[in-house]
């Protein structure tokens, strides 16, 4: 499966070209299990994932990459605990809390509400202290080690 990764990626990108979906990550397990993580500017539905999976599988089968059928494809959206990787992922999370770990010596962690993203800089509002003072931070994406959306059950 490893030898086909670039071809799979090209096929996948052709399938999603005219949509707002994009590839987040792709992994291969030793059992010829291909795990593909897709996201969309407005999220991604199970129906869309199913259609993309079917289209990709059909193309791979037509080309006879695995004549014995000894492979599997799993397509899903990244889980809620998966760090954001691309600037376009931040847009749909404006207004939500993020845990941001900076790529500095101390691996500084800041939890705050994502207020905006502009020109690869995110703005977070962190609530600090008993008086709930709002502290505004701006971080360039290049200085972020990881950013994970915090689930709130308020």
CATH of the domain at 104: 2.30.30.100
**Are 41 and 11 within one domain?**
yes
Nearest CA-CA partner of 114 in 105, 106, 103, 122:
122
**Are 107 and 48 within one domain?**
no
Question: Whole-number mean pLDDT of the chain?
Answer: 92
* pLDDT digits 0-9 by tens, 37-81: 999 998 899 999 999 999 999 998 898 877 677 889 999 999 888
**Are 122 and 144 within one domain?**
yes
Domain-embedded: residue 9: yes
Give the whole-angstrom CA distance, residue 151 versus residue 50: 26
- The pLDDT value given to residue 66: 77
- The pLDDT value given to residue 30: 82
Angle between helices 5-16 and 46-62 (to 10 degrees): 130
**Are 100 and 44 within one domain?**
no
Residue 1 has pLDDT above 70, yes or no: no
How many domains, in total, are found in the chain?
A: 2
CATH of the domain at 39: 3.30.300.70
**Are 69 and 11 within one domain?**
yes
- The pLDDT value given to residue 100: 97
- The pLDDT value given to residue 154: 65
Residue ranges making up the domain that contains 14: 2-76
Where residue 115 falls among pLDDT bands split at 50, 70, 90? very high
Residue 105 has pLDDT above 70, yes or no: yes
Give the domain-ending residue among 54, 76, 98.
76
């Amino acid at each position: 499966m490893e030898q086909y990764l670039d071809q799979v990626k090209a096929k996948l990108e052709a399938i999603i070209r005219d949509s707002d979906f994009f590839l987040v990550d792709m992994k291969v397990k030793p059992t010829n299990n291909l795990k593909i993580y897709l996201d969309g500017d407005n999220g991604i539905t199970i129906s869309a994932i199913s259609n993309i999976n079917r289209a990709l599988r059909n193309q791979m089968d037509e080309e006879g990459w695995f004549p014995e059928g000894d492979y599997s494809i799993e397509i899903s959206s990244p889980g809620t605990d998966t760090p954001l990787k691309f600037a376009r992922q931040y847009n749909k999370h404006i207004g939500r809390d993020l845990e941001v770990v900076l790529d500095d010596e101390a691996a500084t962690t800041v939890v705050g509400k994502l207020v905006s993203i502009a020109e690869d800089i995110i703005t977070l509002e962190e609530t600090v202290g008993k008086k709930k003072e709002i502290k505004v931070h701006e971080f360039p994406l290049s200085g972020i080690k990881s950013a994970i959306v915090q689930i709130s059950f308020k």
